[in-house]
């Protein structure tokens, strides 16, 4: 799978609507391509963050993203597929979402 295709599949991955073969190719690419992995984590955090901001409830995005990865990893029972997040990217996004929450909710 190429980066461009990977990016196109991200929304489907987040919705959980990828078929088995695509999911496998998707995860393989994610394991070898740091840029796409980061893109995926960003889109996930933005999507989930926005949902929570709209609901106005509290949340732990970092944990949720790890859960999501963990559950898809379990589904395919692939050893060594555990992902390490770009920690600084996550921290930056959480910071930005926190700032947005403060602006919106005062
Ligand atoms: Zn890529």
What confidence score (pLDDT) does residue 78 get? Answer: 45
Q: 5-9, 13-17, 82-86, 88-92 — which one is most confidently predicted on average?
A: 5-9
Distance 106 CA to ligand 1 centre (A): 38
Place of tokens 């740091």: 34
Q: pLDDT tens for residues 64-84?
A: 777 777 777 666 554 443 445
The model scores a pTM over 0.75: no
Give the Cα separation of 31 and 27 in Å (integer).
Answer: 6
The residues, any chain, with a CB within 8 Å of residue 58's CB and separated by 6 or more, are 52
Distance 59 CA to ligand 1 centre (A): 29
Q: 7-21, 36-50, 61-75 — which one is most confidently predicted on average?
A: 7-21
Nearest to residue 64, comparing CAs of 85, 48, 86, 82? 48
Q: Are 59 and 52 in contact (CB under 8 A)?
A: yes
Residue ranges per structural domain of the chain: 3-105
């Amino acid at each position: 799978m190429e980066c461009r295709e990977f990016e196109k599949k991200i929304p489907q991955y987040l919705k959980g609507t990828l078929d088995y073969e695509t999911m496998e190719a998707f995860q393989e690419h994610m394991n070898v391509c740091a840029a796409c992995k980061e893109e995926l984590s960003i889109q996930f955090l933005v999507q989930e963050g926005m949902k929570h901001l709209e609901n106005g409830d509290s949340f732990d995005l970092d944990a949720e993203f790890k859960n999501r990865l963990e559950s898809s990893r379990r589904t395919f029972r692939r050893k060594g597929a555990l992902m390490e997040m770009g920690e600084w990217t996550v921290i930056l996004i959480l910071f930005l979402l926190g700032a947005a929450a403060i602006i919106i909710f005062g």
